Amino acid sequence: MKFLFCEHPRRPLSKEGYCSYYGEIFYALKKQCDITFTSKRPSKVSELGQNWDAIILGHAHTDAGHGKPHPLIQDTNIPLFPILNKEYAGLEGKLNWVKSMNATACLTVQHEIEKYTNVTKIPFHRFMWSCDENVFKDYGDGYTSDLFYSGVVRSNQHKNLRCKILKNLSKLGGYNLSIYARHEKNNYEGKVLSPMEYARKLCGARITLTTPSPANLVNPRYFECMASNKSLVLCSRVEDELVYADMVKEDENCVMFSSENEFFEKAIYYLDNESERIKIVNQAYNHFINSQTWEHRATELLNIIKKYINKP
């Protein structure tokens, strides 16, 4: 079988830099199947050629902020599988886009696949991110910080916990903190780490803070921490068990908190109890290697596609 992976020209094929998952999934698929990459913004599917058993539309086609993705007319019989991105912005337009092209099935990291299926009448499947284990790993440098806090701070993040914690980091005054937060109230000013700077700092921290992205998206940082085999995932507890599913398990591959006070209690406890911290770190690494790598993701995606293209 021959597949085509079509990505929007706004996102060149790359394994490094911002949103590296745009390229990493293609490279993972290429190890398992006959797949070709193209960078286009077609108006009709036929513009992509006819000799494909299936076409995958990459993340950047729906990286459109609150605007609508570029219209695409399905004028072939080739099965079409778009991957949604940033479901927290302009979701209605993105779902209409999927419906209008009569996609065969759609992939999303968001957990509400039944809801999306009912709205569009198009089958949705959950398809998660991962991370590059050649980048997120134990570099053998020892620890450079106790807590790593990185990324943007917005009020629409889960319970606004990132903001509340940032305001009270003085409670960890006796510990070595690595803070690279960029707040919406300051128009996201601040240093943006290079991909390797980010990886080295995360992999050199005893604990890394993460919370779901807006719309309860389980972002790549969860998997980056697990892959490091160095940094403990300290993440916010969610109400809907479908969000984390079997990927993130409290006290098995992460430590969870429901409030900023609980965050500080848990952070101090595990920073002061190394054997318990490293036990969860090691369990998280084994969980990642055994079920959450890009190799696993590529297999999952191909199995989804084959269910549709092998139908009589």
Q: Which helix (H) or strand (E) holds 113?
A: helix 113-120
Q: Is the Cβ–Cβ distance between 297 and 25 less than 8 Å?
A: yes
What is the C-alpha to C-alpha distance for residues 310 and 22, in angstroms, rounded to an integer? 27
Residues 301 and 255 in one domain: no
What is the C-alpha to C-alpha distance for residues 102 and 121, in angstroms, rounded to an integer? 9
Structural domain includes residue 139: no
pLDDT of residue 18: 55
Give DSSP secondary structure letters for 235-302: EE--S-HHHHTTTS-BTTTBEEESSHHHHHHHHHHHHH-HHHHHHHHHHHHHHHHHHTSHHHHHHHHH
Residues 264-288, mean pLDDT to the nearest whole number:
98
Residues 285 and 297 in one domain: no
Quote the mean pLDDT of the chain. 93
Structural domain includes residue 231: yes
Q: For residue 205, is pLDDT > 90?
A: yes
Structural domain includes residue 135: no
Q: How remote is the C-alpha of 67 from its chain's centroid? A: 21
Structural domain includes residue 140: no
Structural domain includes residue 194: yes
Residues 111 and 232 in one domain: no
Residues 250 and 150 in one domain: yes
107 token code pair: 């992939």
Helix axes 274-291, 221-228, angle to 10 degrees: 110
Structural domain includes residue 134: no
Domain with 19 in it:
2-129+293-309
Residues 198 and 258 in one domain: yes
Residues 106 and 15 in one domain: yes
Q: For residue 73, is pLDDT > 90?
A: yes
pLDDT band at 158 (very low <50, low <70, confident <90, very high): confident
pLDDT of residue 68: 83
Identify the top-confidence range among 11-25, 60-74, 280-294, 297-311. 280-294
Structural domain includes residue 12: yes
Q: Which residues contact 3 (CB under 8 A, 6 or more apart)?
A: 29, 33, 34, 35, 36, 52, 53, 54, 55, 56, 305
Please give the C-alpha separations between residue 116 and each of 79, 92, 195, 238, in angstroms, as whole numbers.
19, 10, 33, 20
> Which DSSP category does 228 fall into?
H
Residues 237 and 255 in one domain: yes
How many structural domains does the chain have? 2
Residues 249 and 299 in one domain: no
pLDDT band at 87 (very low <50, low <70, confident <90, very high): very high
Q: For residue 268, is pLDDT > 60?
A: yes
Residues 149 and 285 in one domain: yes
What is the C-alpha to C-alpha distance for residues 192 and 210, in angstroms, rounded to an integer? 17
Structural domain includes residue 89: yes
What is the C-alpha to C-alpha distance for residues 178 and 222, in angstroms, rounded to an integer? 17
Residues 173 and 269 in one domain: yes
Residues 28 and 9 in one domain: yes
Residues 122 and 13 in one domain: yes
Q: What is the pLDDT of residues 162-194, one digit of tens each?
A: 999 999 999 999 999 999 999 888 898 999 898
Amino acid identity of 172?
A: L
Global confidence as pTM: 0.93
Domain CATH for 9: 3.40.50.2000
